[in-house]
């Protein structure tokens, strides 16, 4: 019996598939990249010396610090409110679930810039902010709205309340990802609601909640640049103050962009570590064994 290897004329010759358009696209992309990089370093109008001089200037760094503060405070408030809204939306009480749904519908349906400007001008609707008994009762506390709602307060309100609407859906999706049978099994074992949430629901829900929350944090950092319309000296507004005085618009915008890129890159790295910790196979015994197994030297 003759095999194909014994008959040269019957030997199968594997020919790799050609991809001419793939190579053409790669060549065009390479030419485009080289052209952009060459233009960036040969065009004197970029003024890289000006970029280097302002990159670590005190005005820019103070604006960067304020941007980070806005991001952290707004995200913390947004996450906490999002958890409350997610629980309300999943409640059997129709009033609570409807209120949460209406909140999410409103704040996701209107532009954030409009919300920021609205909170900044809230004193036009309520000149005084009063706390007291409803329906004409006496006021226990009454404050001037212009003194309470400062530009910084309006920025935090706008960013945090808008973020809470998105975080509510993220948290709700994480809770819904836990199979109902596991919650029923926990109840059958006599676990309390708090124990079920802490030991059963949250460890599994976090694997769904963490990745989009990291994306929302990065988005919040960039979205915080909208507060520049309220004359808050964040990173972008600080750059605008400088180039309105020096007329070096492009270099200062490059400075702001470089700082945004640097911080978002650091947040992306931190997000990857957190996601790896909460990944589905993070608690597998074989992974723990590989991490804890001592290195054996001298073996071949």
Q: Would you tell me how many other CB atoms lie within 10 Å of the CB of residue 19? A: 10
Q: What is the CA radius of gyration of the chain?
A: 28
The segments of the chain whose pLDDT lies below 50 read: 286, 288-292, 294-300
User: Which is it for strands 128-132 and 139-144: parallel, antiparallel or unpaired?
Assistant: antiparallel
Q: What pLDDT digit, counting tens, does each position of 165-217 carry?
A: 999 999 999 988 888 888 888 888 888 877 887 788 888 888 889 889 999 99
The HSE-up count of residue 71 (CA atoms within 13 Å, CB side) is 25
CB 235 within 8 A of CB 258: no
CB 165 within 8 A of CB 111: no
Alpha carbons 277 and 195: distance in angstroms, whole number: 22
Q: Measured between alpha carbons, how far is 214 from 79 in angstroms, rounded to an integer?
A: 11
pTM comes to 0.80
Q: How far apart are CA 10 and CA 274, in angstroms?
A: 56
């Amino acid at each position: 019996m003759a095999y194909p290897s014994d008959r040269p004329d019957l030997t199968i010759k594997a020919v790799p598939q050609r991809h001419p358009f793939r190579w053409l696209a790669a060549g065009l992309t390479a030419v485009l990249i080289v052209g952009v990089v060459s233009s960036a370093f040969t065009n004197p109008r970029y003024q890289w010396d000006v970029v280097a001089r302002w990159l670590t200037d005190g005005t820019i760094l103070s604006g960067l610090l304020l941007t980070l503060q806005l991001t952290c405070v707004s995200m913390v408030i947004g996450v906490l409110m999002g958890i409350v809204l997610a629980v309300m939306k999943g409640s059997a009480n129709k009033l609570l679930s409807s209120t949460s749904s209406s909140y999410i519908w409103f704040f996701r349906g209107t532009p954030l810039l409009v919300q920021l400007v609205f909170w900044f001008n809230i004193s036009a609707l309520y000149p005084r902010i009063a706390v007291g008994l409803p329906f004409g009762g006496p006021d226990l506390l009454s404050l001037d709205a212009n003194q309470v709602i400062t530009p910084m307060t309006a920025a935090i309100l706008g960013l945090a309340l808008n973020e809470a609407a998105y975080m509510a859906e993220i948290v709700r999706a994480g809770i819904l990802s836990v199979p109902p049978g596991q919650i029923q099994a926990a109840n059958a074992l006599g676990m309390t609601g708090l124990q079920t949430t802490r030991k059963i629901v949250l460890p599994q829900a976090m694997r769904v909640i963490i990745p989009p929350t990291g994306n929302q944090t990065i988005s919040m950092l960039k979205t915080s640049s909208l507060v520049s319309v309220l004359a808050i000296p964040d990173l972008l507004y600080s750059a605008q103050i400088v180039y309105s005085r020096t007329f070096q618009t492009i270099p200062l915008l490059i400075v702001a962009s470089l700082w945004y890129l640097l911080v978002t890159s650091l947040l992306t790295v931190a997000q990857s570590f957190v996601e790896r910790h909460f990944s589905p196979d993070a608690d597998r015994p074989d992974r723990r064994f590989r991490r804890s197994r001592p290195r054996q030297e001298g073996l071949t």
